[in-house]
Amino acid sequence: MKAEPVPRALFDLRGVYNTDLFTGSGTYSYTIPVPKGTNDLTPDVSISYDSSSTNNPSAFVGEGWDLSRDYVERDAILAALNVKAGDSLLGIDLQASRQRLEAIDWVASATVERRLPDTLYVTLKERRAVAIWQSGDEYTLIDRDGRTVRASRMPPGAETLLLLGGAGAPEHVGELLLLAYEPAVVRQLRAAVWVGQRRWNLILNNGVEIWLPEEDAVAALKQLAKLDAQHKLLSREFGIVDLRLPDKLYLKKRSSGEPMQGPA
């Protein structure tokens, strides 16, 4: 019998898988091939999956899935470039154009190139919001580096971002990387409050609060995960799990009508 060659797929269906060190979730992305446009420019289109977004009701592509959408608007880019049809490419200050682009909210870095005879080629690397910080009645988006990002509109997926509270929370958002050690906890996380400029309170989807200590918060969270696996502490009648003191665990039962206020 003559072996028949396996036909090649029209597209390469291999994507990229990663584990997010901030959330502990699994992510997968696949770049969708698209035809070239004007002047051979090709838009970047991709579909992605995030295991932490499976409860997102606004995921129109499917549970956990999203279609790439840019944070930076076209009008903002054109305004920063400040060029119009007919302008000489040689008269454009590339460095000044790049600096104006990098002053736009959501732009982490930019490059601007001349491609003779008539093309100005711009590449942007966008920031990505990881949390929303609530200060009074104002909400500010936070990127992975703790930088506050103000924008005229909420970016795609903003409704799924972690809610932060407390003065100074953005500067300490990197400390929330400790959550990656216990994905069982981070999957339930709804909000985090920076308390007294020294420690975090975590608030889960079911309203349970976890009061972390100032030091060795990772060790405390790991111990809590072990106890929860044995006794289901986070899904019982307890409203507060206090881990502030070393080698001690305090539990407070839920009380109807009583607001939960985290201590300093």
pLDDT in tens, 31-84: 777 777 665 666 667 777 777 655 444 444 566 666 655 667 788 888 999 988
235 vs 82, residue with greater confidence: 82
Peptide bond into 117 cis (omega under 30): yes
Q: Which CATH superfamily is domain 129-253 in?
A: Cell division protein FtsQ/DivIB (3.40.50.11690)
Across all residues in the chain, what is the average pLDDT? 77
| Stretch(es) of the chain classified as CATH 3.40.50.11690 | 129-253
Residue 121 buriedness (CB in 10 A; 0-12 / 13-18 / 19+): exposed
Largest CA distance in the chain: 78
How far is the C-alpha of 95 from the C-alpha of 103, rounded, in Å? 13
| Residue 29 pLDDT > 80 | no
Tokens of 73: 């608007």
Residues 33, 35, 39, CA angle at the centre, nearest 5°? 130
What size, in residues, is the chain? 264
Cβ contact 61:156 at 8 Å: no
Tokens of 264: 């300093």
Residues 230, 187, 225, CA angle at the centre, nearest 5°? 25
pLDDT in tens, 191-228: 999 999 999 999 998 889 999 999 888 888 888 988 88
Closest CA relative to residue 177, chosen from 140, 146, 208, 211:
146
Place of tokens 């901030």: 22
- DSSP run (H or E) holding 219: helix 217-231
Residues 6, 12, 17, CA angle at the centre, nearest 5°? 125
* Residue 4 phi, psi dihedral angles, 5° rounding: -95, 135
Amino acid present at 249: L
Q: Would you give the distance in Å from CA 132 to the centre of its chain?
A: 10
